[in-house]
Structure formats: C-alpha cells, structure tokens
Amino acid sequence: MASADLQDQLERTPSPLPQILRVFWLWSLIAFVAMIAIGYVEFRMGYPKPHYSPLGGSRYDDLTEYLPTYRLLHSAAFFGNSMTTPVAYPPFGAVMYALDYASGHAVGFYLATALLWLAAAVWGVRRALVKSGIGGLTATLFPLTLVLLSFPIAGLIQRGNIELFLWIFAACGTWAFVCDKDDAAAVLWGLAAAMKLYPIIFLALLLPRRKYRAFAVGVGTFVVASIASMAWLGPSIAVAWKGSLHNVFGYQGVRVSEWSIHELAVNHSMYGLAKIVAIGVNLPVSKLMLPYYAMGAVVFGLLFFRRLWKMPMANQLLAVSAFMVMLPPVSYFYTLVHLYAPWLVLAFIAIRADRAGVRIPGLQTAILLFVPLFGSFMLFTYPRVMLFGGIVQGCLLILLFLCAVTFPFTEDRGQTPEVAA
C-alpha cells in the first residue's frame, strides 16, 4: 500500500520540461536577441530600414490595401479595374476580408481576433502541459514566451495578412484531427482551403485512417464554400469565378518572376531553389511552373503512399505541414505559423518519451530545426555574401520533411512501424 501511495505521489509531482524542450526554449531566446543585436548593428552601419528592422515597415498593409476595392463589392469592377488593387485570394478568402471590413474597424477587428486566438492557444497548451505533469509556472511561461519570441507570429500580425484566419481554421482542424474528430477536421480544413487553396493537402491525412467519408466532406466543404462565396461576391458566379482565377494566378505570376532581395529573403518556397537549378541548366523560368508542380506532386505522392502511409500520425502531420508551406511558389515567412501545430505534437511526444525513459531517434533534430524556422529571416540574409533567409529556410524545410519520412516519432516501442528499419 505504501509503495502504491508513493507511486501515486510521484505521478502527481510536477515535472520539468524535457531537456530538448528546454534547449529549444533557450535557443529561441538566443535567436530573438540575435535578431535585435544584428538589427542594431546594421542600423548603425546604415543599412536600409526594411533590412535591419523587418518589423519596422508600414503596419497592416496587407489588410488595409483592399479597403478601396471593397467599395466596389458585388460588381464586376471588384475583380479588376485601373483604380484599385485586385484581391489576390480565392472567393472565401475575399469573404473573410469583407467580414473584417464590415466591422467598421478593420485593424481593431483583426488585432482583437489575433489576441483572442493567441490567448486561447496559450491557455490550451498550458492546460495540456499541466495535464502532462508539467508545473503550472513552466506550463504558463513556456507557450507564452514562445509566442512573444516568434517572428512568424509577429510578422503576420504586423502585416495584417489573411493568413491569421487561415491559421485559425487549419490549426483548429489539426486539433480536431489529433482528437479523432475527423469530420470536424475535414470541414475546417475544407474552409481553410477555400480561403487559400493549399491547405487542401491536409485532407490527405484522412486517407491512411480510411476516413473516406470525412475526406469527401472536406472536399464538399471546399466546393460549397467556394461557390457560395462567389454567389455572394457577385455580380454572378461566372464573373466571380473568372475574376478570382485571374487575380489569384495573376498575382502568382508576377511574384514568381521576381528576383528581388525581398523575394530571396522572405520567400521560403522550394520554387526559389528550382529557379536556381533552372538557370543552371538554361531552362527558361517562364516554363518552370508546370514541371515544378508535376515533380512536387510525384515526389509527395510517392513518399506519402509508400512511406508515410504506415508511419505515426505525428510524421504524417509534420510532413504534410512542411510540404504545404514550401511547395507554393509564393510562401512568405508568416506562413510558417502553420508549423506550430506539428511542433506541438512533437513537443508532447518528447514529454511522454522523457517520462517513459524512451529515446526516439531523430526527434531532437526535428524539434531543433524549428528554432531557425521560427526565427527571423534577417538572421540568414546577407546579400553581400549571397546568403538569403528564404533560401536557407527553404533548405531547412526540406530537412524537416526528410526527418518526417525517415524517423518514426512515437514513444511506444510496440507501435513503431516496420518502415523504421
């Protein structure tokens, strides 16, 4: 009886974070301090402001630039005219902007949404950490300080980009998926995809579970949300369809042809690496898009169905999330917020493994790769030596993806799949 009481007391005693998470915490702080220090040095050296102060530009530009356009809502001119900026998002994304503007205080609504979302996320993570045996103070400070130290989050809010709403839908869908609420996950991911297309890849996570009905629900949600949005945007579904396609892919076409320092620094897409290879083999960049997408689909399809299919859920989620943010030709630093969900899954695996005394190959490497990904691109951007943050972070995303397809992340030795060999 005494032995059982002692065991029960030990289980209720708060535990510290595993060493790997403490290391991650420390290096996140170092990266944040380094960003400030490097920014100050470059300011003293006379560098242009956007370089030494990546958060020092205009505030909420991505949010406010469409205000004049939305005065033309429900007309054909909304989708293109010589006076206003076209909305470069799919129909449901355009509807989300309209919802924000309808508040009458676009910036205030956006900031309130961001604050509520981050507060809920910190509270939810704290609650889960305490439930996992972590002490209350640590469980509070760990997620709170990581949010404050995160450059993608700060940059996202500073720009006022629609990625915030996309992140909320996608992350809530991931939470539902982890909790085995597959239909809810499918609906949320379908709405996220209707907002910016590329989250449609999340629905692939339902296939290894053989949740084909949920998969169909996700696709149906995407289609219905898109059609309903076009009908509401008007003046007709046909006009909205044609205008949305033109604006979305027109924006992509302009961005992918750029070779500015801005693009090289903040765009972590694999497309940047593909452009370098194309130039090396004398392939015109204008003809690169189709083979790029085709090769990406083939590589992902082969690895997903032949490798990831039988791997743990954490591997599948990490691989899909990493691929999602590095495949689109235009994928700026704030899209990296989508990596917080798989990182949290790995963090809780590390906690359980630490308590069980289990060592998981590759887990520490995967967790630490997030440090430079959640840091500022300016840490790796030095044009004088041809080093650019977007290229560096693109390479790190590839390494993270390879970790996901190589090392099974599970603390239960009995559930390690055969692919581990």
Q: Is residue 9 part of a domain?
A: no
Backbone angles phi, psi at 280, to 5 degrees: -65, -30
The backbone region for 298, taken as left when phi is positive above 0, alpha when psi lies in -120 to 50, beta otherwise, is alpha
Does 347 share its domain with 250?
A: no
Q: Is residue 6 part of a domain?
A: no
Does 67 share its domain with 89?
A: yes
Q: Is residue 25 part of a domain?
A: no
Does 174 share its domain with 218?
A: yes
Q: What is the SS3 assignment for 267?
A: strand
The per-residue pLDDT string of the chain (421 residues; one tens digit each, 9 = 90 and over) reads: 444 444 444 455 688 999 999 999 999 999 999 988 888 887 777 766 555 456 666 789 889 999 999 999 999 999 988 888 889 899 999 999 999 999 999 999 999 999 999 999 999 999 999 999 999 999 999 999 999 999 999 999 999 999 999 999 999 999 999 999 999 999 999 999 999 999 999 999 999 999 999 999 999 999 999 999 999 998 999 999 999 988 887 766 666 667 777 788 889 999 988 888 877 777 777 778 888 899 999 999 999 999 999 999 999 999 999 999 999 988 999 999 999 999 999 999 999 999 989 999 999 999 999 999 999 988 998 888 888 899 999 999 999 999 999 999 987 754 444 433 3
Domain span holding position 420: 260-421
Does 274 share its domain with 231?
A: no
Does 219 share its domain with 357?
A: no
Here the tokens at position 8 are 């029960």
Does 213 share its domain with 66?
A: yes
Here the tokens at position 197 are 């297309």
Does 332 share its domain with 403?
A: yes
Does 66 share its domain with 169?
A: yes
Does 283 share its domain with 173?
A: no
Q: Is residue 36 part of a domain?
A: no
Does 207 share its domain with 329?
A: no
Count structural domains, the chain.
2
Does 233 share its domain with 358?
A: no
Q: Is residue 274 part of a domain?
A: yes
Residues 100-110: b if buried by 16+ CB within 10 A, e if exposed? bbeeeebeebb
Q: Is residue 38 part of a domain?
A: no
Does 210 share its domain with 226?
A: yes
